[in-house]
Chain A
Amino acid sequence: MFDKISQFMDEHLSTPMARLAEQRHLRAIRDGIIATLPIIIVSSMFLVIAFMPNQLPKDWALTQFISANIGKILLPYRMAMFIMTLYAVFGIGYSLAKSYKLDGLSGAILSELAYLLTIVPFTVPKAGETVLALAKENPDLSAYLGTLPGGWLISAKNLGSAGLFIGILSAFFAVEVYRFTQKSNFKISMPPQVPASVARSFEALTPTAIVLLVISTITLWYGIDVHAFMGKLVAPLVTGTDSLSAVIIICLLGMFFWSFGIHGWSIVGSLARPMWLTLLENNSTAYAAGQAIPHIAAEPFYQWFIVIGGSGCTIGLALLFLLRSKSAYGKALGKTAFLPAVFNINEPMIFGAPIVLNPILIIPFIITPIVCASIAWVATSLNLVNRVVASAPWTLPGPIGAFIATGADWRAAVLNIILIIVSVLIYYPFFRLYDNKLLTEETNNNIE
């Protein structure tokens, strides 16, 4: 009965839903953003280091050195995570062009062009006569005028997560124009005698001209601030993601797919990651500016407080298989599956135990993340632990990752350990039941 229902659900619900997430534009967003993760992870470490002095004794030489040079220490972060959309657009354009079997590099460059055209460059106006006259008498003002930059400038604001949604749309627009011109032959074609490489260089002119003219008209010449417009449009989406109910829905969806053995996190992440990144970047920006951290539910919150040991917070189950198993199979599984689980890889257990389509283990697999999410949400809301501000590599052991992601807050490591204990407690009765079942099967087999 259970088998029939689950097979029906898998064929008609989970697999078709999962395929939706494979739609080429969604896939391009996912792959493009994932390609920027190394930049985000490494550069957010500078953020953690810059604010270490908050956690260290004030009289240490190291503390004083960091405090004195905080602006400089943060510069690599400013050129990396702080302007992450600049990088993501390149990846999204590349992936989307590749999915149409077009040249990836051309798609990426065209996307970057479309995106940068949405940001209006400006110059600092020259000081007028009255200001200059005042500056002659006031050395402070004179020194200040000397620091003003010359030349053309662009604001970094919309190069970061604030520009992410416009960045995504720019990449879509650019690559679709590229595809349209290639497919419809609406391009400058050369007679066949012209060498192929020369002909190609002309072919690229048409989509570039269309992208340049259309976007320049909207943003540069008509002066429509598409970023402000988009910001208003997605604001409810972003704040909506930062709520306990959204966290629980996301967990339930992720677990739903995993229960059928489909990588739920990667599917849910395809849709939620732009929001998660916006939340995280708002947090890191506030942190770098020394302001209060606005959001709770950025991706690291899930990583370090909900999916400890892998989706389903299975670290507890891994510990139980390792230490409390009576069946031979459980013991063998515990030995091989525990170490990967420390590094948040739990496919060996999901498919090995298995948890997939296992009516006993699916119950705690769904309950544990929700309980952990609620505990972590309350602890974070009450400021018992810092909010997440940095992205730590997801393969770090839980307490270390939690410590780094919260800007070196040791209480986050403690919370992580408490949640591991919670995971053990919730999984225990179900583990007992399942392990006994394995044991009975093993003894029956031996008797036969």
Chain B
Amino acid sequence: MRVLFVCSAGMSSTIAVNALKEEAKKNGIEIEVLAVGTQEFVDEVKNGWDVAMVAPQIRHRYSYLEEAAKEANVPCALIQPQAYSPLGGSRLLAQAKTLFEQRR
């Protein structure tokens, strides 16, 4: 599963990325995760990602990011605030899996 994270500058999501990776490892799921800032997202999302996840603190940019994801045919969702913390790994993984199912 290839997951693309996006936050304001691609910094804070790196921490959530690690939480998600650890959780996936625990569950024996092969996963690749990359965190980018909003500017890079529009181009990066075209590079064959399975799932795009948007950090909660930039939800005011969600519609704009979702549009880019839609064009690239990547299912996209806003990360639940409770999942967006170093301790939210299991919630993150569950959300990523649900999104993964929606992929066409």
Contacts and interface: CB of A to CB of B under 8 A. Distances in A.
Interface stretch (B25-33, B59-67, B94-102): B59-67
A280 to B, nearest CB: 19
Given A34-B39, A347-B7, A347-B55, A22 B84 contact: no
B81 A15 contact: no
B18 to A, nearest CB: 9
A424 B85 CA distance: 22
Interface stretch (A135-143, A150-158, A348-356): A348-356
Contact of B57 (A21, A98, A333, A350): A350
B60 A332 contact: no
A23 B50 CA distance: 29
B15 interface: yes
A182 interface: no
Query: Which of A31, A262, A352, A354 neighbours the largest number of chain B CB atoms within 10 Å of its CB?
Result: A352
Contacts of A274: none
Interface of B: 7-8, 11-13, 15-16, 39, 42, 55-61, 64, 81-82, 84-88
B57 A22 contact: no
Contact of B87 (A263, A266, A333, A395): A333
Contacts of A329: 87
Contacts of B13: 347
Nearest to A333: B87
Given A332-B87, A352-B86, A340 B15 contact: yes
28 contacts: A15-B60, A18-B60, A22-B61, A22-B64, A31-B39, A98-B42, A261-B56, A263-B8, A332-B87, A333-B87, A340-B12, A345-B11, A345-B12, A347-B12, A347-B15, A347-B16, A347-B55, A347-B84, A347-B85, A348-B12, A348-B15, A349-B85, A351-B56, A351-B85, A352-B85, A352-B87, A352-B88, A354-B82
Nearest to B61: A22
A84 interface: no
Contacts of B8: 263, 266
A97 interface: no
A88 B100 CA distance: 39
Interface of A: 15, 18-19, 21-22, 31, 34-35, 95, 98, 258, 261-263, 266-267, 329, 332-333, 336-337, 340, 345-352, 354, 356, 395
B36 to A, nearest CB: 13
Contacts of B84: 347, 351-352
A221 to B, nearest CB: 38
Interface centre among B7, B15, B60, B64 (most CB of A within 10 A): B60
B78 to A, nearest CB: 11
Closest 4 CB pairs of A and B: A352-B85, A18-B60, A336-B86, A347-B12
A258 B88 CA distance: 19
A261 B85 CA distance: 13
A429 B78 CA distance: 33
A13 to B, nearest CB: 12
Given A261-B57, A263-B58, A345-B15, 5 more contacts: A19-B60, A263-B8, A340-B12, A347-B13, A352-B84
